[in-house]
Amino acid sequence: MAVEIIGTGRAVPDRKVTNQELAGRIDTSDEWIRSHTGIGARHIADENTASSDLGAAAGLQALSWAIEKGAVAELTPAELALTVDVLIVGSTTQDYYGCPATACIVQNKLGVKNAAAMDITVACSSFICGLEIAAALLNTEPRRRRALVIGAEVLSKITNWEDRSTCILFGDGAGAVLLEKTPDNPGTAGNVGRGLLRTILGADGSGWENLFVPRGGTRAPWKKGETVDDGATVVMNGQAVYNFAVGAITDTIAKMMEEEHLEIDDLKCIVPHQANARIVQAAGKRLKIPEEKFYLNLEEYANTSSASIPIALDELNRSGALQKGDLVMTVGFGAGLTYGGNLIRW
């Protein structure tokens, strides 16, 4: 059996905050942010919006796309939702930390009533990991056929807007893909050449302190009567994360290319986690991969963590840049520190 992507979607808040607007509030400049990261703006959710709101909107788009494009033309979005067997939400910014899973809230919003629902929390690597877990769950049970994998983030609510070394980096948004398990073509063995072909996943927990949210978990819970301090926001050792990221992306791409016997021309494009254009450029330089091979949209959205890759996939899909049969590689890294990549035949 193969597990193919039959729909994509995204949801990004309307409010766009440019570098210039940030420079009016903190000691930074458009020139510094662009030259150090490639970021030009970020979209920020309003006070009442949580990750499940953006995640459900992106999920609905993915369901609608599959219907519009004829993959399941006979169904309405509500009917299609009922056929989804697995719902995975990747998020660093769950509506409620761990209880309940944000996936359950998305399930309720979307009417995906028959699906097992679960969150994946490996920060910016969550979508890459979620795709592999969803495909595995479809493959281990013959009766499971469809899965919705969503990356959804409202990072603006765990961002310290007075810390110029982190607040310039992040944005809000959600992306989604609808997966379908499809039978083997007669005469072909296994899932040769279709859908999700391969995933690499890894972690180096020795680096966890380089990117984390210090307060709110069981190590340092909020106490009654305590005044809110800066601890509920991301703290980061930027240089350490940068060095890890360049190495992780370089190694993951190299491993995938070598083990899957790929030449760079075999790939339509590489969709990296959209954290910093310099990280991608450094990895590309080491691997001698031309910059144009990497799809970057962080100029518009900044780093949306687990949403960045599915948002990019949806843009590529809807613009027609990705066509059936194209080979695409995702690659990413995140807090944990975690990393990974998927190889997908579109």
Size of the site for ligand COA (CB under 6 A): 21
Q: Site for ligand COA (CB under 6 A): which residue of 8, 19, 37, 304?
A: 37
Ramachandran angles phi, psi of 82, nearest 5° = -70, -15
Token couple for 135: 């495909």
Q: Which is nearer to ligand COA, 19 or 52 (CB)?
A: 19
Minimum distance of ligand COA from residue 282's CB (angstroms)? 11
Check if the beta carbon of residue 326 is closer than 8 Å to that of residue 189.
Answer: no
Q: Site for ligand COA (CB under 6 A): which residue of 102, 276, 330, 338?
A: 276
The residue among 46, 186, 45, 59 whose CA lies nearest residue 110 is: 59
Minimum distance of ligand COA from residue 182's CB (angstroms)? 33
Check if the beta carbon of residue 51 is closer than 8 Å to that of residue 24.
Answer: no
Q: Site for ligand COA (CB under 6 A): which residue of 238, 255, 281, 286?
A: 238
Q: Which is nearer to ligand COA, 111 or 238 (CB)?
A: 238
Q: With b meaning 16 or more CB within 10 Å and e meaning fewer, what string describes 64-85?
A: bbbbeeebbeeeebeebbeebb
Closest-by-Cβ residue to ligand COA is 238
> What's the burial of 40, exposed, middle or buried (CB within 10 Å: 0-12/13-18/19+)?
middle
Q: Is 241 in the site for ligand COA (CB under 6 A)?
A: yes
Q: Site for ligand COA (CB under 6 A): which residue of 109, 145, 157, 164?
A: 164
Check if the beta carbon of residue 311 is closer than 8 Å to that of residue 297.
Answer: yes
- By CB under 6 A, the residues from 284 to 303 that bind ligand COA are 303
Q: What is the DSSP string of 322-335?
A: S-TT-EEEEEEEET
Q: Which is nearer to ligand COA, 65 or 127 (CB)?
A: 127
Q: Site for ligand COA (CB under 6 A): which residue of 89, 103, 168, 328?
A: 168
Task: Return the H-helix or E-strand segment holding 204.
Answer: none
Interacting residues toward ligand COA by CB under 6 A: 28, 32-33, 36-37, 124, 164-165, 168-169, 211, 236, 238-239, 241-242, 245, 275-276, 303, 334
